[in-house]
Amino acid sequence: MKARNFRYVRPSSLEQACRILADEGGDAVPVAGGQSLLAGLNMRLSAPKLLVDIGDLKELTGQSYEDGGVRLGALTRHAELLCSELIQKRVPLLARAAAHIGHVAIRNRGTLGGSLAYADPAAELPACAVALGATLILGNLAGQREVKAEDFFTGLFETQLKPGELIVAVKFPAMQPGTSVGFAELSRRHGDFALVGVAAVATVQRDRIGAARLAYFGCVDRAKVARSVSAAVTGLAPPLSDASAFAQAIRQDLTPEDTTGLRADTKLHMATVLTRRALNSLSQRSDP
Amino acid sequence: MTDLVGEEDVAIEATLNGKPLKRRVKARQHLADFLRQEMELTGTHLGCEHGICGACTVMIDGRTARGCLTLAAQISGKSVDTIEGLTESGKLAQLQSAFIARNAAQCAFCSSGMLLTAYELVASGRTMSRAEIREFISGNMCRCTGYHAIVDAVEAVMAKNEATAEGKA
């Protein structure tokens, strides 16, 4: 199908973009890579009156390493997450996750900020941002404010973004020595939306898991820290041969619903299997 | 009442197949429709129109992109290459003859997109296993070939390029 009629504007600065978005309110949506938005427009799932193209705003670009963290501009493309040396070295979870996002052509266009702002509960990057303890920098007419990723996602496709506000950049804490990341995802075909997935960040000392933060996607309504599971896996020594230590915790953290072709029970089972895989895949930095 | 922000007809200046392009395009028109309907470049095909099938693949600034998930208005300031441009320039010639030699096209609806994705893969200069090639082209659907012949063709071009590179070294 084709998108309904709308107007299009290409602001030349972040301030101008925020002003337009603030003035137009709910009638306007920002577009960057457009890989989720335009699919939705073509299928007429939404019908905004105005598209504000933020895809060329310099203020939203750039990648840097500062104060023990990696700052990625909102326009960082998924393809860059995969191949950037800085990211592979300092935030390897993002590189691991990006390989699962769509396909090559999608990753060439889709952006980090777009994925977080869209807040699809089946998307990889919101879960990664939460597991990593990232901080989002939001820009508006009054200036900028910072929001922790775990506070940013408020519901199904819902975030703390107010009208007239844009994600400018995301700050990820750099991997510390002794910290490991794990990632596992199940989808019908590679590149499809996840049925169930999990991102894990954990300290590992003498082969035992210390502090851990896990976040699920695909089987949740929003990205959030799975507190019970994160607590339950502390002290475990991967590789794990079974999931008895955290299976109950998964049932506390996740309350999936039956969907077509997939019962809630099945999702919980798959989440259990994937959690074990993710913990067994905990690896330091990006070294094999 | 104040003037409306934005326009339903948007002025763009871009490069299309190496030539400058200056136009007004409809805001709602995606790039694949623009290429086919306004520029009569019908080699870019349209299948699903929501980013799944890959038939509408074009190159934007040298990287593959979905023609159906990009607005024509969004190409302003960018360089777009289609199957027509890359065929005329000869950049696809090697892949095209490998596809023909191995019957890597049957109905050929997917071929323009498949060739562009294969071109990005081969141009990266990396040597990949068959599994990696399959993963790279996984965003382009072919309902005829079963992909085997396509992977054969890409693998052959890759091997040939590698041999040439080693010969030079």
Nearest to A50 among B6, B10, B120 (CB): B6
Domain A179-284 indexed as CATH 3.30.450.70: no
Interface of B with A (CB under 8 A): 4-8, 10, 27-28, 30, 33, 49-51, 54, 57, 60, 63-66, 68-71, 73-74, 76-77, 117, 120, 135-136, 138-140
Beta strands in chain B (DSSP E): 9-16, 19-26, 57-60, 63-66, 79-81
pLDDT at A284: 59
Q: Please, which residues have CB within 8 angstroms of residue A151's CB and are 6 or more apart in sequence?
A: A160
pLDDT at B165: 86
DSSP β-ladder status, B57-60 and B19-26: unpaired
- Closest-CA residue of A relative to B58 is A105
Is B92-168 in the same CATH topology as B9-87?
A: no
- Closest-CA residue of B relative to A44 is B50
pLDDT at B118: 98
Residue ranges per structural domain of chain A: 7-53, 58-173, 179-284
Give A 194-223 residues with CB within 8 A of chain B: none
pLDDT at B1: 47
Hey, of A19, A104, A189, which one would you mutate to test binding to chain B, going by the most B CBs within 10 A of its CB? A104
Check CB contact under 8 Å for B5 and A8: no
Res B154 pLDDT > 60: yes
pLDDT at A288: 37
CATH architecture group of domain A7-53: 2-Layer Sandwich (3.30)
Q: How high is the ipTM of this complex? A: 0.95
Res A205 pLDDT > 60: yes
Query: What class, spelled out in words, does domain B92-168 have in CATH?
Result: mainly alpha
Res A36 pLDDT > 80: yes
pLDDT at B2: 57
A-to-B residue pairs, Cβ atoms closer than 8 angstroms: 111
CATH of domain A58-173: 3.30.465.10
- Average model confidence (pLDDT) for chain A? 95
Q: How far is B4 from chain A (nearest CA, A)?
A: 9
Identify the band that residue A260 occupies on the pLDDT scale cut at 50, 70 and 90. confident
Hey, of B4, B71, B76, B154, which one would you mutate to test binding to chain A, going by the most A CBs within 10 A of its CB? B71
- Span A86-127, pLDDT tens digits: 999 999 999 999 999 999 999 999 999 999 999 999 999 999
**Contact in structure between A155 and A224 (CB atoms under 8 Å):** no
pLDDT at B150: 98
pLDDT at A169: 98
Check CB contact under 8 Å for B69 and A9: no
Average pLDDT over residues B89-104: 97
- Span B101-131, pLDDT tens digits: 999 999 999 999 999 999 999 999 999 999 9
Amino acid letter for position B158: M
Hey, of A4, A41, A103, which one would you mutate to test binding to chain B, going by the most B CBs within 10 A of its CB? A103
Average pLDDT over residues A179-197: 91
Burial grade of B153 (CB within 10 A; 0-12, 13-18, 19 or more)? buried
In order, the DSSP letters of A3-44 are PPP-EEE--SSHHHHHHHHHHHGGGEEEESS-TTHHHHHHTT
pLDDT at A285: 44
Q: What is the DSSP letter of B7?
A: B
Q: How far is B102 from chain A (nearest CA, A)?
A: 24
Q: CATH homologous superfamily of domain B9-87?
A: Beta-grasp domain (3.10.20.30)
Tokens representing residue B146 in the block: 């079963």
Q: Please report, rounded to a whole number, the percentage of residues in chain B having pLDDT higher than 70.
A: 98
Whether A163 and chain B come into contact, CB under 8 Å, resolves to no
**Contact in structure between B112 and B43 (CB atoms under 8 Å):** yes
Average pLDDT over residues A232-240: 95
Check CB contact under 8 Å for B54 and A105: yes
- Closest-CA residue of B relative to A11 is B6
Residue ranges per structural domain of chain B: 9-87, 92-168
Q: Please report, rounded to a whole number, the percentage of residues in chain A having pLDDT higher than 90.
A: 91
Res A153 pLDDT > 90: yes
pLDDT at B75: 98
